[in-house]
């Protein structure tokens, strides 16, 4: 998983979070409304209870007043009337508190007003009764009437009060039902709120836990990757470093220190820390390159030397370039590679190359000597021999003539040898230009060139149609010159030589030194003769430099001709082999790649 | 060069090698043709002579390549860059038969290339053929193959 992907919350996750947030808020608002409705019903119940209580208090106060009046009438003791005023005040206090509780209901206000009226009437009766009772001459009949009237009034009043209390009781019943309902619904709401919060909490917790586990796994993987990278750097001799252009803070990988041969890995350090390990001849230049690049933000690449604490010199190839980090800050990132082995081998290769070039130049001048400077005196020797032969042959003895003949043959041999040496060296030189050429034309040129020799030997050269092949033309020309010359040279004295050049079909199992050959890949060209042949055991030896099978003077070879042939065929990535039967002839087979 | 018998053919040779000069001289004498032979020891003497105003120009110039002071190639270049010498037939006469030398002198404007023979009778044969060559005919169909003279 990618880090970025991990830290980007999914749409589902965001939606779930939003929905649960709205749900919690909604349920909380509902709960709040229900709680205030519950409060309200509690207020209603307590108000109703209070009014009931006040009404009952009024009733009992009235009865109390009646009783104390009766007691006074009987005893004429005025102490019974002491509480009179207090009772009256209590009753009106209760009345006003009832009034406040029912102020929003017109029917009830009217009922209270009626009650007040009844109470005042009752009190008026009390006062009249008291006045009669206090007078000196008590008219018991009037008094009795008043008392009866008072009792009737009290009855009416109590009836009114009970009616009101009944009403309050009924109201209370309704309030209680409502209250119970409110309690039930708010309990459900509270419960569901708790459940929802719990679910959201659990969900979040599990998500947090899941993310934490993932982060832990990622962290482990990251650590592992870092470890792999470090090991890879160690094995490959590579290290990396970076520097933040804004903060100027450097970071070096562990292997950077190992390459420098340092045991301790330090952090929060800059290039200055390493300056003492950099070769004094290199430090100024590389610091300049680095510092310049930090100004104009161009990529850098250079090789420098370091000196390890143990004195060992290593070559470091350092390349650096600029990029932006996650925060968008410019960072220079570099790779430093220990290239000591490559560098030293490159140096030694260059050294070898130089010596090769000079060896080649020497070979070239050797060629020059052989082809020109050595031929010059030899040519003169031959020239003088021919002059002596022409003009002095009458004056020298037979033995002298014999010696001169031997000198002439030796000089001719030497000339052939030098020509072949030059030819051989020409096959080694590297000016190998391949051109698609018709071998028939090449052969025609060769036969033309050798026409004097061919005529001399009365030889027959038969060429059957040959293919077009990609060749270095002058070399293949030389190849056929040498092969035909070879056949002419080693021909039988009593038979006129017949030399055949033709193509052949490559057999299914045909091999050359374990390399399987096929018609698809190779041309097979056969040069055969009816000469003296050779023993099959020499079939490899004849291609070696200066190996001649016939030592007699009759066969004046240089020992180079077939070696040149082999070299030429090898230059064409082909093969050549020789088969011989002594006294019957030789067959040379050439395989050239198509 | 078709000449009537009364006018000698004017032959010139520039070669630093004394033996070769002698061989050349002897061979020309042996040919028994009516000729006037002028021999120079190096390229500088040759050019000094050619460039002096009252010189009778040769019909054929045999030019060795490897000479001190002024090489045959340098002489060839100087002669071919001067309109005055346009009628001189130039035969390169050298031990070398390297492709490089043949190529250079062919491009440089020589008429024929002779590799010095290693047999005196062969030398005489070569000189006889070259001196009696129909230069007009030879030059008109000159190419790289006919440039290198072989018997």
Q: Is B18 on the interface with A (CB under 8 A)?
A: no
Q: Is A266 on the interface with B (CB under 8 A)?
A: no
Q: Is A372 on the interface with B (CB under 8 A)?
A: yes
**Which residue segments constitute the domains of chain B, with CATH numbers given?**
9-147 (3.40.50.2300)
A157 close to A118: Cβ distance less than 8 angstroms: yes
* Partner-chain residue, chosen from B19, B98, B118, that has the shortest CB–CB distance to A371: B98
Best mutation target, B95, B103, B122, to test chain A (most A CBs within 10 A)? B95
Average pLDDT, stretch B134-147? 77
Write down the pLDDT at residue A547: 66
* Mean residue pLDDT across chain B: 87
Measured between beta carbons, the chain B residues lying within 8 angstroms of A372 are 66, 95-96, 98
Give strand pairing partners of A581.
Answer: A585
For residue A321, give every residue at least 6 positions away whose Cβ sits within 8 Å of its Cβ, in sequence order, or none: A299, A300, A332, A333, A334
Residue B98: closest C-alpha in chain A: A371
Instruction: Quickly state the pLDDT bin for A8 (edges 50, 70, 90).
Output: low
Best mutation target, A365, A378, A386, A473, to test chain B (most B CBs within 10 A)? A386
Digit-coded pLDDT (tens) for A243-301? 998 888 898 988 889 888 888 787 788 888 888 889 999 989 988 998 898 888 999 99
State the Cα–Cα distance between residues B88 and B57, nearest whole angstrom.
7
Residue A367: closest C-alpha in chain B: B98
A538 close to A552: Cβ distance less than 8 angstroms: no
- Per DSSP, A441 falls in state H
Q: Which uninterrupted H or E stretch holds A317?
A: strand A313-324
A582 pLDDT exceeds 70? yes
* Partner-chain residue, chosen from A379, A386, A415, that has the shortest CB–CB distance to B121: A386
Digit-coded pLDDT (tens) for A319-342? 999 998 888 889 999 999 999 998
Please answer yes or no on whether B120 and A383 come within 8 Å at the CB atom: yes
Please answer yes or no on whether A383 and B123 come within 8 Å at the CB atom: yes
Residue ranges, comma separated, of all CATH 1.10.287 domains in chain A are: 344-429
In the structure encoding, which two tokens stand for residue A128, read together?
Answer: 């009249």
What CATH number labels A3-212? 1.20.1330
| ipTM of model over 0.90 | no
* Partner-chain residue, chosen from B23, B96, B122, that has the shortest CB–CB distance to A372: B96
Strands (E), B64-125: 89-94, 112-115
* Mean residue pLDDT across chain A: 85
d(CA B96, nearest CA chain A) in Å: 6
d(CA B73, nearest CA chain A) in Å: 17
B67 pLDDT exceeds 80? yes
Q: Is B96 on the interface with A (CB under 8 A)?
A: yes
Interchain CB contacts (distance < 8 Å): A and B: 32
State the Cα–Cα distance between residues A518 and B7, nearest whole angstrom.
70
Write down the pLDDT at residue A421: 79
Least confident span in A48-62, A114-128, A356-370, A542-556: A542-556
Please answer yes or no on whether A387 and B120 come within 8 Å at the CB atom: yes
Q: Is B55 on the interface with A (CB under 8 A)?
A: no
Residue with tokens 């050959």: A517
State the Cα–Cα distance between residues A275 and A280, nearest whole angstrom.
9
Higher pLDDT, A516 or A429: A516
Measured between beta carbons, the chain B residues lying within 8 angstroms of A375 are 95
Q: Which uninterrupted H or E stretch holds A250?
A: strand A250-252
Q: Which uninterrupted H or E stretch holds A586?
A: strand A585-593
A535 pLDDT exceeds 80? yes
What CATH number labels A431-593? 3.30.565.10
Q: Is A409 on the interface with B (CB under 8 A)?
A: no
Average pLDDT, stretch B45-59? 89
Instruction: Quickly state the pLDDT bin for A3 (edges 50, 70, 90).
Output: low
Instruction: Quickly state the pLDDT bin for A212 (edges 50, 70, 90).
Output: very high
Considering the segment(s) A237-338 as one domain, its CATH architecture is 2-Layer Sandwich (3.30)
In the structure encoding, which two tokens stand for residue A495, read together?
Answer: 């038979």
Percent of chain A with pLDDT over 90: 20
Helix axes A561-571, A398-428, angle to 10 degrees: 10
Residue ranges, comma separated, of all CATH 3.30.565.10 domains in chain A are: 431-593
Helix axes A375-391, A398-428, angle to 10 degrees: 150
Q: Is B71 on the interface with A (CB under 8 A)?
A: no
A557 pLDDT exceeds 70? no
Average pLDDT, stretch A42-63? 86
Measured between beta carbons, the chain A residues lying within 8 angstroms of B119 are 382-383, 386
Strand B60-63, strand B89-94: pairing: parallel
What CATH number labels A344-429? 1.10.287
Best mutation target, B119, B124, B144, to test chain A (most A CBs within 10 A)? B119
Best mutation target, B26, B66, B101, B120, to test chain A (most A CBs within 10 A)? B120
Please answer yes or no on whether B96 and A371 come within 8 Å at the CB atom: yes
Q: How far is CA A395 from CA A227, A409, A575, in A?
A: 101, 21, 55
Residue A378: closest C-alpha in chain B: B118
State the Cα–Cα distance between residues A168 and B143, nearest whole angstrom.
146
For residue A281, give every residue at least 6 positions away whose Cβ sits within 8 Å of its Cβ, in sequence order, or none: A305
Q: ∠ CA B31-B37-B42 to the nearest 5 degrees? A: 125
d(CA B112, nearest CA chain A) in Å: 19
Instruction: Quickly state the pLDDT bin for B91 (edges 50, 70, 90).
Output: very high
Instruction: Quickly state the pLDDT bin for A4 (edges 50, 70, 90).
Output: low
A485 pLDDT exceeds 50? yes
A1 pLDDT exceeds 50? no
A550 pLDDT exceeds 60? no
Average pLDDT, stretch A546-568? 70
Write down the pLDDT at residue B146: 78
Write down the pLDDT at residue A430: 60
Write down the pLDDT at residue A555: 54
């Amino acid at each position: 998983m990618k880090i970025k992907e991990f830290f980007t919350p999914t749409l589902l996750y965001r939606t779930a979070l939003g929905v649960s947030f709205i749900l919690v808020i909604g349920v909380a608002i509902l709960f709040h409304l229900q709680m205030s409705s519950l409060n309200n019903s509690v207020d209603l119940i307590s108000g109703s209870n209070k009014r009931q209580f006040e009404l009952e208090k009024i009733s009992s106060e009235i009865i109390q007043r009646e009783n104390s009046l009766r007691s006074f009438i009987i005893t004429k003791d005025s102490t019974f009337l002491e509480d009179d005023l207090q009772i009256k005040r209590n009753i009106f206090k209760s009345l006003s508190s009832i009034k406040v509780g029912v102020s929003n209901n017109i029917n009830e206000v009217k009922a209270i007003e009626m009650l007040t009226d009844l109470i005042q009437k009752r009190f008026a009766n009390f006062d009249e009764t008291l006045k009669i009772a206090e007078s000196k001459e008590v008219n018991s009949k009037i008094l009795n009437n008043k008392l009866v009237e008072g009792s009737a009034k009290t009855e009416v009043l109590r009836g009114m009060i009970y009616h009101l209390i009944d009403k309050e009781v009924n109201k209370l019943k309704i309030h209680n039902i409502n209250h119970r309902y409110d309690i039930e619904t708010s309990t459900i709401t509270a419960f569901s709120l708790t459940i929802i919060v719990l679910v959201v909490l659990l969900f979040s917790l599990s998500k947090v836990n899941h993310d934490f586990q993932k982060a832990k796994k990622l962290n482990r993987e990251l650590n592992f990757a870092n470890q792999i990278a470090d090991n890879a750097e160690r094995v490959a001799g590579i290290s990396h470093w970076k520097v933040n252009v804004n903060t100027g803070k450097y970071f070096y990988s562990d292997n950077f220190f190992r390459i420098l041969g340092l045991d301790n890995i330090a952090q929060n350090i800059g290039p200055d820390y390493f300056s003492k390990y950099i070769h004094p001849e290199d430090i100024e230049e590389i610091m300049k390159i680095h510092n310049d690049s930090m100004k104009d933000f161009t990529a850098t690449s250079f090789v420098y030397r370091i000196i390890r604490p143990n004195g060992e010199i290593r070559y470091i190839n350092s390349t650096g370039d600029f990029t932006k980090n996650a925060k968008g800050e410019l960072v220079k990132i570099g790779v430093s590679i220990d290239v000591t082995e490559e560098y030293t081998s490159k140096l030694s290769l260059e050294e070898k190359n130089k010596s090769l070039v000079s060896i080649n130049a020497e070979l070239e001048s050797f060629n020059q000597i052989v082809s020109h400077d050595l031929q010059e005196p030899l040519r003169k020797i031959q020239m003088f021999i021919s002059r002596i032969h022409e003009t002095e042959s009458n004056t020298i003895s037979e033995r002298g003539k014999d010696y001169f003949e031997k000198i002439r043959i030796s000089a001719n041999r030497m000339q052939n040898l030098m020509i072949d040496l030059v030819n051989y060296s020409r096959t080694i030189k590297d000016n190998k230009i391949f051109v698609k050429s018709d071998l028939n034309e090449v052969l025609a040129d060769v036969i033309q060139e050798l026409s004097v020799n061919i005529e001399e030997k009365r030889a027959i050269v038969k060429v059957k149609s040959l293919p077009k092949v990609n060749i270095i033309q002058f070399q293949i020309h030389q190849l056929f010159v040498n092969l035909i010359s070879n056949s002419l040279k080693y021909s039988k004295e009593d038979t006129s030589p017949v030399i055949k050049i033709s193509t052949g079909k490559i057999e299914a199992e045909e091999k050359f030194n374990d390399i399987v050959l096929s018609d698809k890949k190779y041309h097979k060209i056969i040069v055969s003769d009816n000469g003296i042949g050779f023993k099959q055991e020499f079939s490899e030896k004849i291609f070696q430099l200066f190996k001649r099978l016939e030592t007699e003077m009759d066969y004046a070879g240089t020992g180079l001709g077939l070696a040149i042939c082999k070299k030429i065929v090898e230059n064409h990535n082909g093969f050549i082999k020789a088969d011989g039967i002594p006294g019957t002839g030789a067959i040379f087979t050439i395989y050239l790649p198509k | 060069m078709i000449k009537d018998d009364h006018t000698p053919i004017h032959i010139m040779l520039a070669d630093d090698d004394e033996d070769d000069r002698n061989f050349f001289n002897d061979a020309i004498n042996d040919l028994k043709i009516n000729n006037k032979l002028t021999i120079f020891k190096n390229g500088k003497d040759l050019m000094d002579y050619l460039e002096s105003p009252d010189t009778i120009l040769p019909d054929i110039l045999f030019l060795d390549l490897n000479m001190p002071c002024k090489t045959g190639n340098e002489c060839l270049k100087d002669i071919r860059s001067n309109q005055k010498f346009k009628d001189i037939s130039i035969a390169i006469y050298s031990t070398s038969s390297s492709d490089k030398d043949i190529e250079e002198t062919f491009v440089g404007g020589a008429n024929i290339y002779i590799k010095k023979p290693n047999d005196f009778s062969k030398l005489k044969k070569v000189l006889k053929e070259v001196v009696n060559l129909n230069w007009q005919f030879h030059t008109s169909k000159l190419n790289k193959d006919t440039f290198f003279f072989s018997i």
